Amino acid sequence: MKALLILFVLMNLDKLLKTGRCTETQDQILSITPKTQEQVDILKNVSTQYETALWQPVSPQYIKEETEVHLYVPANSSEIVKDLLQKHAITHGVLLANANELIEMQTRNGSTDPRSSSTFYERYHSLDDIYHWINRTQQENPNMVKTILIGSSYEKRPLYVLKLSINNRPNKKAMWIDCGIHAREWISPAFCLWFVQNSLSFYKLNQDITRILDNMDVYILPVMNPDGYHYTWTTNRMWRKNRSVSKSSNCIGVDLNRNFDANWCTEGASDEPCTEIYCGAFPESEPESQAVANFLRSHKDSVQFYLSIHSYSQMLLFPYSCTLDEAENHKDLLEMAQEAAQAIRRYYRNTYKYGSGAKTIYLAPGGSDDWAYNLGIKYSFTFELQDRGRYGFLLPPSLISRACNEALIAVKTIALKVIEKTKASASHP
Ligand code: ARG
Ligand code: ZN
């Protein structure tokens, strides 16, 4: 027993020494639950004054007592941040001690690692890889896939939408999915790729996919914020906004999910360019949100189901997020989200919360889902995929398939409901 203890101490000696000296070599994610108003204020300061990135909540203004905060702390700020916490008797847990390793794991490409057995869709991909994939997917499936250029980003990268279309029935309806509004939510573009792959491979094999594609065209925008996404691959993994330069400030980027014209820049958004929830200079000031809005405006008669994919926190949200008011078809939306959450529970034993955005997370005006809803797309949703904070934005590649499959079953459940409901209303107007 004694020998074992000594062995254990020896094996962990370097770790003990390191933690004793408080010099972290790795970026970390801390979990901190403030207990008093004073602690709340200290945390707000820490997250704004030091080189850290707030993971949860999205902005320091939402930090409150007894609510868990997830804070990304780079190695070089670790000592000062931890000292500050200690000085004010704020306890913290370490959610992830090895963020750099996880980032490395996410950017390593399977092709450079011969032992990897994961497929293309079980890995994360750089923006260039995604552009190549778009090209290849269209070329390999000329009868089912078209690419549509809907605009370009602030830094002039193309915004391509894939249109999956099986037949040309008159008055065919459509659904829309966008991914990657927020740059650091890498599971989101991964889902769009997964969805396309699954649809193309299982048409005529899977009954649900077949029914969906027989009844609807599907528009997929795999990366709405290519500049931000590229930046997370090259420079700052924690970047959220786009990369537009502000006239009034040195801070860069607009939160594209605060830039749509739905109670734009009211409570839950900020007109301060240095915040993560900056709403931009005016509604649709950003080329990315404008491109999406223009496309949907010109397709609003066919598009009946709008879906935007985010992470993390495992939620199926619907309008409104920009007001506490209930949507006119709240009951329908609630029922659909509930059914989708039940399907995830049944097939994957995982829990998703559901409800209107404002009541389930927080007021967040200027979102694409509320805007699409007000445009007349009555079935409008935002999904927050895995996880609930274990890995947060650094979800390892090995968890991509679970995360995407459970989201896929939710999408299918809702799409089938939309088809059913719109058929019923077409036959008894
Ligand atoms: N967490 C996301 C955000 O902060 C989604 C919010 C839900 N929808 C919305 N329209 N705000 O943007
Ligand atoms: Zn997001």
pLDDT tens-place string over residues 184-237: 999 999 999 999 999 999 999 999 999 999 999 999 999 999 999 999 999 999
Query: Can you tell me whether residue 292 is helix, strand or coil?
Result: helix
Which pLDDT score is estimated for 200?
Answer: 97
Backbone angles phi and psi of 74, in degrees to 5: -65, 150
The band of 118, judged by pLDDT with boundaries at 50, 70 and 90, is confident
Query: Is 70 within 8 Å of 97 (Cβ atoms)?
Result: no
Which pLDDT score is estimated for 18?
Answer: 45
Q: Which residue has the tokens 């059914």?
A: 339
Query: What is the per-residue pLDDT across 91-111, written as a single tens digit (0 to 9) for each?
Result: 999 999 999 999 999 998 755
Residue 385 has pLDDT above 90, yes or no: yes
Residue 384 has pLDDT above 90, yes or no: yes
Compute the average pLDDT of residues 330-339.
Answer: 98
Query: Is 223 within 8 Å of 288 (Cβ atoms)?
Result: no
Average pLDDT, the chain: 93
Q: Give nearest CA residue, ligand 1 atom 7.
A: 357
User: Which 8-state DSSP code applies to residue 321?
Assistant: S
Ligand 1, residue 58: give the atom nearest the CA.
4
- CA distance from start to end of the chain: 79
Provide the 10 A C-beta neighbour count for residue 225.
35
Q: Give nearest CA residue, ligand 1 atom 12.
A: 257
Backbone angles phi and psi of 54, in degrees to 5: -75, 125
Residue 180 Cα to ligand 1 middle (Å) = 12
384 as an active site residue: the answer is: yes
Cα separation values, 237 from 231, 310, 386, Å: 7, 16, 18
pTM of the predicted protein model: 0.92
- Among 24, 286, 384, 406, which one carries the catalytic annotation? 384
Query: What is the per-residue pLDDT across 288-301, written as a single tens digit (0 to 9) for each?
Result: 999 999 999 999 99
Residue 205 Cα to ligand 2 middle (Å) = 33
Q: Which residues form ligand 1's pocket by a CB distance below 6 Å?
A: 58, 257, 310, 317, 321, 357, 364, 367, 369-370, 382
Residue 112 has pLDDT above 80, yes or no: no
Crossing angle of helices 368-375 and 287-298, in 10° steps, is 30
Which pLDDT score is estimated for 12?
Answer: 54
Least distant ligand from the CA of 317: 1
Half-sphere exposure (Cβ direction) of 244: Cα atoms closer than 13 Å = 23
Compute the average pLDDT of residues 306-313.
Answer: 98
| Residue 121 amino acid letter | Y
Q: Which of 133, 181, 192, 176 is nearest to 404 (CA)?
A: 192
| Residue 87 amino acid letter | K
Compute the average pLDDT of residues 338-364.
Answer: 97
User: How far, in Å, CA of 363 to CA of 240, rounded?
Assistant: 18
Residue 289 Cα to ligand 1 middle (Å) = 14
Q: Please give the helix or strand (H or E) that residue 355 lies within, else none.
A: strand 353-356
Tokens of 86: 């200690």
Residue 10 has pLDDT above 80, yes or no: no
| Residue 419 amino acid letter | I
Residue 429 Cα to ligand 2 middle (Å) = 37
